[in-house]
């Protein structure tokens, strides 16, 4: 069977399996010794050396199309067309030698008018299952007339040559918007595939006035959509999987004039130390056939999994169809949002558990994309360290952040959206001194924000960050709402708050020429 990639024709060296379903892909994965079935039915796989994204190994081809449309720099690095041509030739040669290849025809995006058709070619069956789970599946009639706009090829066994391919290491993620081709080699971490499609949509959709977002989203009983921005570890997946609300999706969405629509057909949740009490809906997916568990430790004899064991990776993951969540949206979309939640895990213990923001403050914090790493998570990190990832997803944003920030500001103004900043990090002191914000309190505050009762109460103005902080909320200890009062040493709190405020100011300097005066003045001040 011949494999067509654009105008290129490739003859695989072995079998070509096209659009296999879940059961046969699991069978292939087990037969190929790619993973083990757990006692409860999930497919458990290990990704080897790469247990997360290889951000420094991602490149965009720099040509006439991308020269002025991509935000070039440390995040978006360029590759010459000649290097990509050599890489493509070597990829095609490697594919021709494979004993089998797997192909899926899928959509990135669930709204028909704003989706992209993608052909995904993989050498591993479980990668084919993963991407079939994570993207949106065509109907039978759509498959019969499927015409791929972009192609993505994932070959973990491929080893890039920095001298020949113009890259950094043997691992490569190369995106060519002109040739509509994405090449992923030297890594088995499946998240690279879904994030590459996310980056593709982030590049394409703003040209049509669509706001692409790294966020989760859900809908209340009254049709009130909420979106949750946040970096990994801040609670996007956990907080959006709320039994009282309908889940649209947990990671990637677009905001059009008529809806918020999921880019995906599945969820990709962190599994490490997953709690059946705090996250029952997600925990239940670990016991379902069709779930893929990455880097989760499994006993090879009993096939019992251990979600608390981080010996393979702290970033253990589970991918599962969105309909494994009982209250998921049937059509993967909802009305335009009434509420925006920006999540941060503040390890400095400075930010309040919730604060209401003006549209200008929301754009400021969206462009800032703040969270904090904690001591021990990386070599050399001995105290909380501020992390700023613009738009809460810098590695996936090919265009300049102001493009996404201005789209957000316009849509907030058009829809009269209420914006909140929620700290899921620490209270009572920095990491190591204070404690993690109780999830029960976070959920209570979110519920009050979403039902409107929190907006009706009294507020104080935070002296450092200028946003409005509620002074009371039903079911929440009022003391937790004032971070300074939770510290044993108020002066130490003030010094830490000034330090964090200055880090915000220093980071935002790169955006001041791209925003108006209202947004420039919406950031923190250094209180005396």
Instruction: Based on the residue annotation, tell me whether 133 is a catalytic residue of this protein.
Output: no
Instruction: Based on the residue annotation, tell me whether 214 is a catalytic residue of this protein.
Output: yes
Torsion sign (Cα): 90, 96, 98, 103: positive
Beta bridge partners, 185, equal 155, 172
Instruction: Based on the residue annotation, tell me whether 317 is a catalytic residue of this protein.
Output: yes
CA distance 22 to 129: 6
Residue 466 tokens read as: 């200028």
* Residue labelled with tokens 């103004």: 413
Beta bridge partners, 268, equal 319
| 254-271 CB burial, b ≥16 within 10 A, e <16 | bbbeebbbbbbbbbbbbb
Q: Is 295 left (phi over 0), alpha (psi -120 to 50) or beta?
A: left
Catalytic residue among 165, 317, 338, 365: 317
The DSSP element (H or E) to which 410 belongs, if any, is helix 401-415
Instruction: Based on the residue annotation, tell me whether 306 is a catalytic residue of this protein.
Output: no
Torsion sign (Cα): 66, 93, 147, 336: negative
Contact criterion met (CB below 8 Å) for 345 and 424: yes
Catalytic residue among 83, 180, 236, 400: 236
Catalytic residue among 216, 237, 368, 371: 237
CA distance 339 to 53: 30
* Count of alpha carbons within 13 angstroms of residue 142, beta-carbon side: 15
Annotate 342-368 with three-state secondary structure: EEECCCCCCCCCEEEECHHHHHHHHHH
23: Cβ–Cβ under 8 A, 6 or more apart, which residues? none
- In degrees, rounded to 5, the angle at the alpha carbon of residue 390 between the alpha carbons of residues 464 and 408 is 90
Instruction: Based on the residue annotation, tell me whether 460 is a catalytic residue of this protein.
Output: no
Catalytic residue among 57, 242, 250, 251: 251
| 318-335 CB burial, b ≥16 within 10 A, e <16 | bbbbbebbeebbeebbbe
Residue 290 tokens read as: 């069709």
Catalytic residue among 195, 399, 400, 409: 195
Nearest one of 130, 185, 205, 121 to 398, comparing CA atoms: 205
Catalytic residue among 28, 180, 214, 365: 214
Quickly count: other Cβ atoms within 10 Å of residue 223's Cβ. 10
The DSSP element (H or E) to which 266 belongs, if any, is strand 266-270
CA distance 71 to 279: 37
Characterize the bridge pairing of strands 58-61 and 172-176: parallel
Catalytic residue among 50, 53, 77, 245: 53
Instruction: Based on the residue annotation, tell me whether 195 is a catalytic residue of this protein.
Output: yes
Quickly count: other Cβ atoms within 10 Å of residue 131's Cβ. 25
Residue 349 tokens read as: 């213990």
Quickly count: other Cβ atoms within 10 Å of residue 443's Cβ. 18
- At residue 98, what are phi and psi to the nearest 5 degrees? -75, 140
The DSSP element (H or E) to which 386 belongs, if any, is strand 385-388
Instruction: Based on the residue annotation, tell me whether 31 is a catalytic residue of this protein.
Output: no
CA distance 1 to 14: 9
Q: Which residues are catalytic?
A: 53, 195, 214, 232, 236-237, 251, 317
């Amino acid at each position: 069977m011949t494999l067509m990639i654009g105008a290129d024709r490739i003859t695989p060296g072995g079998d070509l399996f096209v659009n296999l379903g879940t059961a046969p892909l699991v069978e292939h994965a087990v037969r190929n010794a790619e993973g083990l079935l757990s006692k409860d039915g999930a497919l458990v796989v290990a990704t080897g050396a790469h247990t997360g994204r290889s951000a420094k190994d991602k490149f965009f081809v720099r040509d006439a199309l991308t020269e002025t449309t991509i935000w070039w720099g440390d995040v978006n690095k360029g590759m010459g067309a000649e290097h990509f041509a050599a890489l493509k030739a070597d990829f095609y040669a490697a594919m021709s030698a494979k004993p089998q290849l797997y192909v899926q025809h899928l959509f990135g995006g669930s709204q028909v008018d704003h989706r992209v058709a993608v052909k995904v070619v993989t050498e591993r069956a479980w990668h084919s299952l993963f991407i079939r789970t994570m993207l949106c599946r065509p109907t039978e009639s759509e498959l019969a007339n499927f015409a791929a706009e972009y192609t993505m090829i994932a070959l973990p066994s491929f080893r890039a040559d920095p001298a020949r391919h113009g890259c950094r290491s043997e691992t490569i993620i190369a995106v060519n918007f002109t040739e509509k081709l994405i090449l992923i080699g030297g890594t088995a971490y499946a998240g690279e595939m879904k994030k590459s499609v996310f980056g593709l949509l982030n590049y394409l959709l703003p040209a049509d006035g669509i706001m692409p977002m790294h966020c989760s989203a859900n809908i209340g009983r009254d049709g009130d959509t909420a979106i949750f921005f946040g970096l990994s570890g801040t609670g996007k997946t956990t907080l959006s999987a709320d039994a009282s609300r309908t889940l649209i999706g947990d990671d990637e969405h677009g905001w059009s004039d008529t809806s918020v629509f999921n880019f995906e057909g599945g969820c990709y949740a962190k599994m490490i130390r997953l709690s059946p009490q705090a996250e029952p809906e997600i925990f239940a997916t670990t016991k379902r056939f069709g779930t893929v568990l990455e880097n989760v430790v499994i006993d090879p004899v009993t096939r019992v999994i251990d979600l608390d064991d981080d010996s393979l990776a702290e970033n253990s993951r589970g991918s599962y169809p969105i309909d494994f969540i009982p209250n998921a949206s049937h059509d993967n979309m909802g009305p335009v949002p009434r509420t925006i939640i920006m999540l941060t895990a503040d390890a400095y213990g400075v930010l309040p558990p919730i604060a209401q923001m003006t549209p200008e403050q929301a754009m400021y914090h969206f462009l800032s994309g703040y969270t904090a790493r904690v001591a021990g998570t990386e070599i050399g990190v001995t105290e909380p360290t501020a992390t700023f990832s613009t738009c809460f997803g810098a590695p996936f944003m090919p265009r300049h952040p102001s493009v996404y920030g201005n789209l957000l500001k316009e849509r907030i103004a058009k829809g009269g959206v209420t914006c909140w900043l929620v700290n899921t990090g620490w209270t009572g002191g920095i990491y190591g001194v204070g404690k993690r914000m109780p999830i029960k309190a976070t959920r209570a505050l979110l519920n009050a924000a979403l039902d409107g009762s929190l907006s009706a109460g009294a507020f104080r103005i935070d002296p450092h960050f200028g946003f409005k902080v509620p002074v009371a909320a039903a079911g929440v200890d009022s003391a937790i709402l004032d971070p300074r009062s939770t510290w044993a040493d108020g002066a130490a709190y003030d010094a830490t708050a000034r330090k964090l405020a200055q880090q915000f100011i220093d980071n935002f300097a790169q955006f001041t020429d791209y925003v108006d005066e209202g947004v420039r003045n919406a950031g923190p001040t250094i209180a005396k």
